[in-house]
Structure 1
Amino acid sequence: MTRSTVLPLLFRALLLTLGMGVVWGLLDWWLSGTIWQPMEISRSAKIVEYCEFNHIHRFFHQPSNTYSNLAYVFFGAFILLLANADSSRSGNARLNRLERFPALSVLVGGCFVYLGVGSAFFHASLTTIGQRVDMNATYGLMLSLISVAVYHIFHTVRLNPRRQLIWVLIVLVVIAYFWLLAPRLPSSRLLPALIVALTLGMLINYVQFRRQRSLWLVLASVALTFIAIKIRTMDVQKINCDPYSILQGHAIWHLLTGLSSFCAYLFFRLTSINIESRRTRSTGLVQ
């Protein structure tokens, strides 16, 4: 896609994100924190896990940590718009491997939005169910990106539309299974394992197509993740903590992890035309 095509999509994604932000702002203005009272309070709220002050009278208990999730919404909206554009060009022989599988971009974009809304739900309510949704959405985004990596690593496998749908459904089932798995495995183990798996997937695909892939996007994704983890740790440990500041460490975590995940998506998205197809012609196709 050309710059002239991408820029309008970015603008539309920005408008959609701003619209979502306005809706959130109206909800925060109109509703009060009492709406969350029937729900079980999360352990995170009980131990005051994050630096930001818990405004329990407000609908958004943690405003900065809630609104910052709009970063995920923006990236998700943009990827969904890209997927829609890919679908309209489905007959174009010049599409690369990811562009020929728009449903996979829909999956990734949807998981971005799911995380944006799910994490906002948690930081707005500080409830146990909100925390469960937040973590499942986090795992969902990582799993969707890992599925993109697997799809590109096994580039000799060509999926028809029916098999593409089955692929997406399988990933959705795995994400749903992680809802059940999460309480049994601590996120301190599960999330790093998924991050490592995604990073390995990018590195393997880089080795496969190093002339067409950008190592800088891999490095950017990894670096942003490490910086985000460091800032989140400082926020939890209350280092340089100002509970009433608009700028919160966990809010920065949202922005940096969103950027990191978007870099991972771009690693597979920004590639020469049909590089997998060229390699495939020399190795044979698996239908």
Structure 2
Amino acid sequence: MRPDVHLTPGCPWYGLSELRLPNVDWCEAQRCAWVVEPANAWSNLAYVGVAVVLAVLARDVSSRQLRFFAPAALLVGVASGIYHASYTFVLQVFDFLAMYVFCFLLLTVNLRRMDVMAGRDWWRRFLQLVGAATALTVALDFLEIPIQGIVFLLIVAIVASEARLARGGEGAGPSLGYFVLSIGLLATASVFSLLDVTRTWCQPDHPFLQGHAIWHVLSSLALLAAFLHYRQFDTRLARGEP
């Protein structure tokens, strides 16, 4: 639900908040400060930590697409952190752009594995998809249509494409342990986020125990598990890239 309470004049982010507020009101109480939602903002350091781990792991892969996992995870952390620090729609769009970067990174890997997308085209197609989804986000928000549905549909598309590949598209079939772990972490994270936004579990003034903050931590681990799944295709992905 879109919040009714605006930041008051004199608050650091007041000007941007007056342009448009984000379309969701998390449980954490908003503060008149440079970091409006501290727990929801600082919990994004989990993505930064995962990005560092991914950068180390990426030293052993050849595919440029797989190497992009680390900067993509870093972008998610920075964008989400700034969004929750500001509590503004303008920077919520930046947050969604970052989520699209990671979602389309996974989806284009699967499209390449399905031979639907050529390795030489993935970067251009990837940027086009991220740009289109971001533009759609702005349009849907002004129509008061929940923009979180776009991310949900992308996750469904990733799972569906992986399921199709697992049914026999790649020889004996890939190992799915890390992919299942990734989806499990994401599902658990979603439960905490839902409990938060519905006020089922809500302590507005708690300094760190917020459901949406837990979403950040668990979903960052889901990104790491996703990389551990996709790196088994490194040789094939690298072969098709320029």
Aligned positions of 1:1-287 closer than 5 A: 34-41=11-18, 42-44=20-22, 49-56=25-32, 58-83=33-58, 85-86=59-60, 99-101=61-63, 103-154=64-115, 159=119, 163=120, 166-185=121-140, 186-207=146-167, 208-209=169-170, 211=172, 213-245=174-206, 246-270=208-232, 274=235
Residue by residue over 1:167-191, the C-alpha shift from the partner in whole angstroms, topping out at 9 and shown as x without a partner, is 2233123212222111234324311
Displacement of 1:209: 4.2
Letter in 1 for 2:124: L
Gaps of 5+ in 2: 1-9, 141-145
Count how many residue pairs are aligned between Structure 1 and Structure 2. 223
Looking at structure 2, the residues matched to 44 and 238 of structure 1 have their Cα atoms a distance apart, in angstroms, of: 17
Which is higher, the Rg of structure 1 or of structure 2?
A: 1
On the 8 A contact 1:52/1:62 being kept in 2, the answer is yes
Displacement of 1:260: 2.0
Looking at structure 2, the residues matched to 210 and 259 of structure 1 have their Cα atoms a distance apart, in angstroms, of: 29
Quote the sequence identity (%).
27
Secondary structure at the aligned position of 2:15 is classed as coil
Residue by residue over 1:42-69, the C-alpha shift from the partner in whole angstroms, topping out at 9 and shown as x without a partner, is 5348x7x11111121x211111101111
Looking at structure 2, the residues matched to 169 and 79 of structure 1 have their Cα atoms a distance apart, in angstroms, of: 23
Letter in 2 for 1:193: L
Looking at structure 1, the residues matched to 212 and 171 of structure 2 have their Cα atoms a distance apart, in angstroms, of: 35
On the 8 A contact 2:107/2:158 being kept in 1, the answer is yes
Output the TM-score relative to the length of structure 1.
0.68
Looking at structure 1, the residues matched to 138 and 213 of structure 2 have their Cα atoms a distance apart, in angstroms, of: 25
Secondary structure at the aligned position of 1:43 is classed as coil
Secondary structure at the aligned position of 1:238 is classed as coil
In structure 2, the CA distance between the partners of 1:124 and 1:113, relative to structure 1 (3 Å rule), is same
Looking at structure 2, the residues matched to 153 and 76 of structure 1 have their Cα atoms a distance apart, in angstroms, of: 27
Residue by residue over 1:41-100, the C-alpha shift from the partner in whole angstroms, topping out at 9 and shown as x without a partner, is 45348x7x11111121x21111110111111122223323433x24xxxxxxxxxxxx33
Residue by residue over 1:247-273, the C-alpha shift from the partner in whole angstroms, topping out at 9 and shown as x without a partner, is 1100011112222232222211146x8
Residue by residue over 1:224-261, the C-alpha shift from the partner in whole angstroms, topping out at 9 and shown as x without a partner, is 22222221111011122111221110001111222223
The CA RMSD over aligned residues, in Å, is 2.9
Looking at structure 1, the residues matched to 228 and 114 of structure 2 have their Cα atoms a distance apart, in angstroms, of: 15
Looking at structure 2, the residues matched to 218 and 105 of structure 1 have their Cα atoms a distance apart, in angstroms, of: 15
Looking at structure 2, the residues matched to 231 and 210 of structure 1 have their Cα atoms a distance apart, in angstroms, of: 38
The farther-off stretch of 74-83 and 175-184 is 74-83
On the 8 A contact 1:108/1:145 being kept in 2, the answer is no
Secondary structure at the aligned position of 2:77 is classed as helix
- Please name the residue that 1:90 is paired with: none
Displacement of 1:129: 0.9
Looking at structure 2, the residues matched to 125 and 178 of structure 1 have their Cα atoms a distance apart, in angstroms, of: 22
Output the TM-score relative to the length of structure 2.
0.80
Displacement of 1:109: 2.1
On the 8 A contact 1:69/1:254 being kept in 2, the answer is yes
On the 8 A contact 1:53/1:62 being kept in 2, the answer is yes
In structure 2, the CA distance between the partners of 1:171 and 1:158, relative to structure 1 (3 Å rule), is closer
Looking at structure 1, the residues matched to 107 and 48 of structure 2 have their Cα atoms a distance apart, in angstroms, of: 20
